[in-house]
Amino acid sequence: MCSIRLGVIFILISDCFLSGTRTPLLAILILCSNFSEVLSCKSFFCFCILVKFASAGAGGGGAIIGRDYLALLEKHRPELQWDKNSGEHFFFYNDDKDIRHAVFYPSLKSISLRLEEARSWGCGISIWEIGQGLDYFFDLL
């Protein structure tokens, strides 16, 4: 029988130095699997585990909010690519000083994968900076 009676929020740290994403899909899987015993608890007083992920992107050394992401897409017309390790879309562009940048930004697919992973473990979600993302993110919620 489960005797733990506390709430937990997963704080997923940015993976900007490795792949650029702010909430790696693999981190969600690892964290949830490490708490599998707690997640299987059937007690009335058990707690909710929330998986936290960002609605803003990352690139060029900082956060990328929705309007900046759309401006970069319009200006550079990059080809979106899929990073299977982070479970997120990204693109490259060169700035006015010809410096190459990678931008990782949540998409409907990446958000859907994170929601499915959290749901499969019986976790809730906590969305960081929800107003910083794109309007269509709400379509999945």
Distance CA 138, CA 135 (A): 6
Instruction: State the pTM of this model.
Output: 0.72
**71-125 per-position pLDDT tens digit:** 999 999 999 999 988 888 999 999 999 999 999 998 889 888 888 888 887 777 7
**5-46 per-position pLDDT tens digit:** 445 555 454 444 445 566 677 777 777 777 666 666 655 445
Nearest Cα residue to 41 out of 9, 2, 4, 6: 2
Nearest Cα residue to 78 out of 105, 40, 50: 105
Give domain limits for the chain.
8-140
pLDDT: which is higher, 70 or 11: 70
Helices 108-120, 25-34: crossing angle, 10 deg rounding: 10
Q: CATH code for 8-140? A: 3.10.50.10
Instruction: Give me the amino acid identity at 64.
Output: I
